[in-house]
Every structure is written in structure tokens, then in C-alpha cells.
Amino acid sequence: MFIENVLFLLFSILSIVFSFFVILCKNPVHSILSLIFVFFNTAALLIFLGAEFLAMLFVIVYVGAVAVLFLFVIMMLNIKESNLILSLYNYIPVFTLLITIFVYEVYTVYSSNLMPLYMFTANSLKDHDILVIDFIIINFLDCVINYATNIYVIGNILYTEFFLMFFISGIILLVAMIGSITLTLHKRNDVKRQFVFKQIERNFNNTIIWRS
């Protein structure tokens, strides 16, 4: 229990420190790498909360896909370092606004007791009775923390209670994907294309003509 708490604290401190590095690093690639490290620490925190499935998804989606694309783009862009630091101070009002909203959000969540913010481990909540709590969000969170039925419960709730939201978010993603494809797609006619079916279709008899 003591070691788990210490590790929990360590990961949370590391994630905060490295999220500062994301902003303060002069080299954009370094800041992306520290962002990846932050993602990792967050996944570790999720594992300590017992939500292994979410942690794995976090690593697969954010680290394995999103951050790779970030890295791709930033490596190709070749940004100069000095411009970034100067323009950073212009954003201070926006930063303060965002931070205020975020702190307010955390405060409301904390005060309405939707999520317990004290230290705990997966073991202490293992024998938590789910049925006692009537509110659906608490129910959801508790089930995620519950060790054995991690995926089962998420699937069960996602495809029944929150089906509509799941569906709508899927459609939003689809729209975004189609939008970005139509924005970037332009067909060039001056390029020689390879048609695999045409190539396979050709055979000896009708390609080479013997003339006597």
C-alpha cells in the first residue's frame, strides 16, 4: 500500500513536470517526446486506479497513433526555435482562461462527489458493491475500477446506456475523416498509373502478336 502510494505520487509528479517541459522545451521534437512521456505516466496512473483497459487504449491510441502523427508533422516542418518562445507570452490570457475553466470543472466534480479523489488502489475497491450506488456515473466509474469485469462492463454500458452518444461520436469522426480526405484529395491526370487488374488480365495470347 505504501509503495503503491509512493509510485502513484511519483507518476503524477512526473506527468506534471513533463507537461511543463512540453511547453518550455525549445526544440519542438523534444517537447513532443515529453508529451509522449506524459501520456505514459497517465496510462500508469490509470493502471494504478485499476482501469487497465483504459490504460492500454490510452497507450495504443494516443502514443501509438496520435503522437506518431504529431512527430511526423513536426519532424517535416523544420520550425525555427526562437519564434516560438517569443510568441508564447501572447497566449497568457488564453492560458489563464483555460486553466480557470479546468480548475472550476475539477472543483465541481469534486464537490458533487462524482469521483473520489483520495488515494486508493485497485485492491481496496475490489470488493466494492456496485449495486448500492444508484447514480449511473458513479456506477460506471466503479465498474471500470473493478478488477475482473473491466472490458465486459464498459462494453455492456457503452452499447446500451450510452449507445446514442457512442453512435454520434462515431459519426462525428467519420465526418471529420471524409472532410479531411475531400480537402486534400486532388486527382492528377499527368501521372502514369498502374492498374493491377489490367496487368493480371493480360496473357500471352493477346499481348504478343506473332507476325510472319
Partner 1 sequence: MLYIILFILLKSLALIIPLLISVAYLTLLERKVMAAMHQRKGPNVVGFFGLLQPFADGLKLLIKETIFPDSANTLIFILAPILTFLISLVVWAVIPFDKDYVFADINLGVLYVLAISSLGVYGIITSGWSSNSKWSFLGALRSAAQMISYEVSIGVIILCVLLCSNSLNLSDIVYAQRKIWFIVPLFPLFLMFFISGLAETNRAPFDLPEAEAELVSGYSTEYSAMGFALFFLGEYANMILMSSMITIYFFGGWLCPINTYIFKIVPGFFWFGFKTTLILFVFVWVRAAFPRYRYDQLMRLGWKVFLPFSLGWLLFISGILVGFDFLI
Binding site for partner 1 (CB under 8 A): 27, 29, 33, 36, 52-53, 56-57, 59-60, 63-65, 68, 71-72, 75, 148, 150-151, 194, 196
Nearer to partner 1, 39 or 140 (CB): 39
Closest contact distance (angstroms) between CB of 52 and partner 1 is 6
CB 53 within 8 A of CB 150: yes
Nearer to partner 1, 65 or 208 (CB): 65
Closest contact distance (angstroms) between CB of 75 and partner 1 is 5
Closest contact distance (angstroms) between CB of 91 and partner 1 is 27
CB 38 within 8 A of CB 18: yes
Which residues does 27 contact at the CB level (< 8 Å), separation at least 6?
Answer: 81
Separation CA 36–CA 21 (nearest Å)? 11
Instruction: Count other Cβ atoms within 10 Å, centred on residue 55.
Output: 19
Angle in degrees, 0-180, between the axes of helices 136-145 and 150-158, rounded to the nearest 10: 150
Nearer to partner 1, 155 or 179 (CB): 155
Closest contact distance (angstroms) between CB of 174 and partner 1 is 15
Nearer to partner 1, 59 or 145 (CB): 59
Nearer to partner 1, 194 or 212 (CB): 194
Dihedral of CA atoms 142, 143, 148, 150 in degrees, nearest 10, equals: -120
Closest contact distance (angstroms) between CB of 53 and partner 1 is 6
Give phi and psi for 99, each to the nearest 5.
Answer: -65, -40
Which residues does 193 contact at the CB level (< 8 Å), separation at least 6?
Answer: none
Nearer to partner 1, 12 or 52 (CB): 52
Closest contact distance (angstroms) between CB of 210 and partner 1 is 29
